[in-house]
Structure 1
């Protein structure tokens, strides 16, 4: 029996270390997208070896950060009531929430995610497509384009706006307004 307590404690310590590393990585990478693992370890108050024990590489840590931020965003989207009210308004509200996440976590603008085939988009697609279909049935959203194409378009334009901000071509506010206006025009019948 006494053998189980050290295992549990070691696991709890490992969980705390992993959480501290992820939290430090999110904060530091938002400010300094090129931050080293050493700087992240320092910010998390762990050794670099501890970081490597949890994440084999900087890319592995970056993927874990993106997965964490994706999970947080999807929870916030799930807190929206997408099944009721205006489908068009809900679709735009969902996009607004996603944009606020980009603004809150600039690492998402620098993470190099391109294209819509990224598996991180699957949960978003699973929520957007039924919403768009509902809007098409009610006449709020255009029926001239298929729901899957509209989802692809929304995600792609969101990335294009984010890339414009990351490249310094647009400021975040202008990019957001442009994105919102464009998506409204595309979705409306």
Structure 2
């Protein structure tokens, strides 16, 4: 009786095709969340049949993108910490914006679409960090105490989504959005708008990096997406 041979690694071209499809899907779905698999295949320079060789249907492809994106965000934010809970909340807002601002439409699909519960579970550690920062801020008097921690945490999250959603409908550069995300977060937890601006300007760790990539709004002009 012959010994079963170990499963072979996927052929190199198959693996490359899968990556091409995922990259194309991120671009296409961020342009139009309702785009078809044909549009994704065309963007990747592959046939529709090639898509089905890797993903059973559109939902499976979307799940892969959302899961990968949520894990990337969770990994990027898991190390965000600061002894000042206000600074920590601002850093969370800033880092979250920087992670998703180039895929704003897909980010909203991930947290408000049919996969919202799946995304929420993946981002659980970030939400816990937000709640912990608010609890500390309420304890030291730097944040409002008229709302329970859980409710205030949900309002902070909703505010971040509002900034993201508004930026998909009205042009908002990467640096401008970064500052707005922090300002709105600090406002929700109790700071006035002038106070929030002064707070951000007085904290070097909240400053926009001196050397950055070209603004995403300019980059979008060079992207190729299906009509």
Q: TM-score range by the shorter chain?
A: 0.7 to 0.9
TM-score (normalizing by structure 1):
0.75
Paired with 1:60 and 1:107, the residues of 2 have a C-alpha distance of 18
1:87/1:36 Cα in 2 relative to 1: closer, same or farther (>3 Å)?
A: same
1:87/1:72 Cα in 2 relative to 1: closer, same or farther (>3 Å)?
A: same
Secondary structure of the structure 1 residue equivalent to 2:147:
coil
2:144 corresponding residue in structure 1: 142
Give the structure with the larger helix fraction. 1
1:132/1:11 Cα in 2 relative to 1: closer, same or farther (>3 Å)?
A: farther
TM-score (normalizing by structure 2):
0.65
2:102 corresponding residue in structure 1: 104
1:157 corresponding residue in structure 2: 159
1:114/1:11 Cα in 2 relative to 1: closer, same or farther (>3 Å)?
A: same
* Cα RMSD (Å): 3.2
Q: Which has the larger radius of gyration?
A: 2
8 Å Cα contact 2:156-2:189 kept in structure 1: no
How far off its partner does 1:146 sit? 1.5
How far off its partner does 1:2 sit? 7.2
* Count of equivalent residues: 183
Q: Bigger shift: 179-188 or 93-102?
A: 179-188
User: What stretches of structure 1 of length at least 5 have no aligned partner?
Assistant: none
8 Å Cα contact 1:109-1:163 kept in structure 2: no
